[in-house]
Structure 1
C-alpha cells in the first residue's frame, strides 16, 4: 500500500491513497482524514485503506485524480517523534578517519542516534531554505520507518513488528555549524534544519523480498545538480537493522504511533557506489589528499533521491529539492 498527504492549506494535510505506479490517487477522507489518524488506529483503518488501494490499482476507484508529488506534504507533515540513527558505521568510520580520530569499538555494538525536530517537515519537492551558504549545506539520503506504539524496553524483534511504513529521507545538515554545536556537548540543534521525506510512504509488503530482516535491500540513487553521485545499496553494510534502531530509541521511553526512526546516511564500503552526502565525499578526499576539494551546496543547487524496483519503477517517488535563500521564502 502507498499513502501520501495532500497539501490542503492545513497543518496536517489530507490523507490520500496512491496507486502502485504513482500515477493516480484517491482521497481517503471517508476512511481517515490524516496519516496520523490512520496510524493511531492502524488495525481498524489499514484494511479499509488497502481496499481503496486495490480498487485504485484495478481501475475501480471513484473520484481519482493524477498524482503529483509537488502537491504533497511530507507523508507525516509533523510527528510526535523523529529520531535518526547512524546504522551505516562505515560512514562514521570515514568521518573519524578524516579527523584523525580513533573509532570507539562500542560504535559497532551500540547505535548512534540523535533526536531531530519533528514539528516542521518538508515535502519532497519543497525548497531547502537556508539563511546562508556559509553554513555548509549538505544533503543526506536515508531510509526511515514509521512505527505504531512501541513499549519501553521492547526487544528488537518486537520493535521490528511495529514498523508500519517506510519512507526515503533527505536529512539536511549544515556542516559548518556542527563542530561548534558538538563541542558544547549537547548535540545537534541549529545544524539540523527541517528534514524532507519522499512523497509516498509504503507498507513493508510493497518491497516484497527486498524488505528482509529489517533492511531495505535496494540501491538508493542520488543525483546532485543532475549528476548521479551515489547508488549505494541500503541493505549492504547496514550494521544495525530497523528493529535494533527502534528498540534503541525505545530503551528508556515509550514510542507513540507515528514515531519516525531514520537509518542515517546510507553508505557502502565499496567507494564505487558513490556517496549519499557531500561530507562523505569530502572525508574520502581528506583521507586521500589531506584536504577536501568538493564544496557544499549553493543556492540554486538541486538534489534528487529515489529508489527503484527491479523493473526500474520508482517505489517511493522522488525527493527533488532546490536550495533557496531565506529572502526568497519570505
Structure 2
C-alpha cells in the first residue's frame, strides 16, 4: 500500500517511513500541508498519516479538503501528532479524521491502526462505485481551500437562517413555512414539505404551481415513507395537506405526476421521531451530494423549529386558559 506521510519534522518522517517500508508499504513524504494537498490531488494514496501543526496549510485543512471531496473522502486519514489537547482531538474529529495517534505510539500500535483503517476502506468500497479524481496541479490547492470555505459558509448561512426561526414567536404553520422556504431556496426544488406525525398533517411549500396529480403523488409517497419510518402503517390520504401560501398550489400545466428527484429524511427531537422532511423536483439529479449535505445539516434545525413552535403554542394555550379562568 502507498502511504502519504505528512509532517514538518524530517526526523519523524524518516523514522515512520522506515517502519512503514519495513512492513511492506510504499511511502511518499510531504513536509507541509500544501505539499500534502498537491500529492493527494495528483497521486491519491491508499492512506494518509497527517500531522496537525504544519507550515502553510494545517493538517485540519488537509483533512477537511479530502473528506469534502467525493473522490478522496474514502481515503483513511490518521492524525499523527505529539499534541493530545482536547481541542486538537475535537477539531480532528470535526475535520473527518479516521483516527488519532500520538507520536509516542509510533510502532506496532501505529501499524495496527493503519491496517484497520485500510481494511475499513476496502469494505466501504465494496458498497459502491468509487470516483476517480482527475489529475490536478499546484494551483488547485488554493482553489480547493476556497471551494470548501465557500461551501461551509453557504451551509452555515442556511442553517443559521433556519434555526433563527426558532428564536421568533411563530405559530407552527408559519414556522414550517419559513423553514420550507429556506430549504427550497437553498437547494432548488419544485415542492418541499414537512410531515408531522402527531398532528397527521403535511405542510407543503410549492416554488411554482404543480398539477393535482403531481401533488397527490408527492403526498402519497411522503405519507408511506413516514408510515415506514414510524411503524404506524400510514397510507395515502391519512395526512391532511396544507399549503404555506395563500395562493393556489395547483396548475393544470404543472410537472407530471412522476417526480424525478427525491429527498426524504426523518425529523427527530431527543431521539424521538416527530415527522419527516421531503423535497421533490421534476428535473433529474436535482439533489446532488452538495445539496444532500446541506439538507442533512438543515434537518436538525428544522426539528428544533418544530419543537419551539409547539412549545410556543402550549404557552399561548396555557395563558389563554389562565385568562379565561380569571374572568
TM-score (norm 1): 0.25
Normalising by structure 2, we get a TM-score of 0.26
- Which of the two has higher C-alpha Rg? 2
* Higher relative contact order structure (alpha carbons within 8 Å, sequence separation ≥ 6): 1
